[in-house]
Amino acid sequence: MEGRIGFIVFVCLMGLTCANPVKFIDCGSSSGKVTMVDIDPCTTQPCQLHKGQSYSVNVTFSSGVESKTSTAVVHGIIAGVPIPFAIPVGDGCKSGIQCPIQKQQAYHYETTLPVKSEYPAIKLVVEWELRDDENKDLFCIRFPVQIV
């Protein structure tokens, strides 16, 4: 056991991915349950997202339903107002999820979050939904970020 811990520490020190899970709240996941959210690179909380860079977003969740499709919907919530946030690939079945989605199975949703240079420097809450083929949330999460 001690050797395994030493190896993990060594891998982290070598600069390989050892992401800290992002603190999030569930905002109405009706068809699934999120177990972990990672944004890479994200070394602080809230995550500081630098203009002109892209970030890897990974959400581990289990599905409570079967679904042939999955669609991502992302908003930035500023002063309580949801503003649509474009992502390069909205199809969850092209973002690390093998569809059709099966009930009681774990999935790793992986996508890219580009931060455009024209975005204002602001603190906001990101609301990220992945919807099933009945337009219900496989997951809905919110997490704070700061665009710098």
Burial of 84 (0-12, 13-18, 19+ CB in 10 A): exposed
Query: What are the tens digits of pLDDT across the range 44-62?
Result: 999 999 999 999 999 999 9
Integer Cα distance of 61 and 82 in angstroms: 23
| Single-letter code of the amino acid located at 4 | R
Evaluate if residue 10 carries a pLDDT over 90.
no
- 120 C-beta neighbours (distance < 10 Å), count: 8
pLDDT exceeding 90 applies to what percent of the chain?
Answer: 80
Counts for the chain of helices (H) and strands (E), in that order:
1, 9
Q: Domain map of the chain by residue range?
A: 20-147
Q: For residue 90, what pLDDT band results from cuts at 50, 70 and 90?
A: very high
CATH architecture for segment(s) 20-147: Sandwich (2.60)
Whole-structure pTM value: 0.84
Higher-confidence residue of 4 and 129: namely 129
The reply to whether omega before 100 is within 30° of 0 (cis) is yes
Residue 17: predicted pLDDT: 46
Tell me the pairing of strands 137-147 and 122-131: antiparallel
